[in-house]
């Protein structure tokens, strides 16, 4: 997974936001049970997964943001 890049200008940021969705506070579940569940932020850009990270992703990185507090994602 790539880290979210810092945008250098307002035009760059507008381009980066096009087709982006940020889902915060999603519970990532390890299906194998090897690690504890983790709360993550997920960034989807142009219908493709761009990042799943434990750190908060800036709201400015996405056109639309949702709270995934009751959402779950299964890791492999």
What topology does CATH give the domain 21-75?
Answer: Urease, subunit C; domain 1 (2.30.40)
Which residue is associated with the tokens 């979210």?
Answer: 4
Q: For residue range 21-52, list pLDDT tens digits in order.
A: 999 999 999 888 888 999 999 999 999 999 99
Q: What is the pLDDT of residue 17?
A: 55
Q: Which of 43, 36, 48 has the alpha carbon at shortest distance from 63?
A: 43
| pTM reported for the whole predicted model | 0.70
Q: What is the pLDDT of residue 31?
A: 86
Q: What is the pLDDT of residue 7?
A: 41
* Distance in angstroms (rounded) separating the CA atoms of residues 33 and 18: 36
Let me know how long the chain is: 76
Beta strands in 1-76 (DSSP E): 20-30, 38-45, 48-53, 64-67, 72-75
């Amino acid at each position: 997974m790539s880290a979210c890049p810092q945008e250098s200008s307002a035009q760059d940021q507008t381009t980066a936001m096009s087709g982006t969705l940020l889902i915060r506070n999603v519970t990532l579940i390890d299906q194998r049970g090897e690690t504890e569940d983790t709360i993550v932020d997920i960034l989807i850009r142009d219908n493709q997964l761009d990042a799943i990270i434990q750190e908060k992703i800036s709201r400015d990185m996405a056109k639309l943001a949702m709270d995934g507090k009751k959402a779950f994602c299964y890791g492999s």
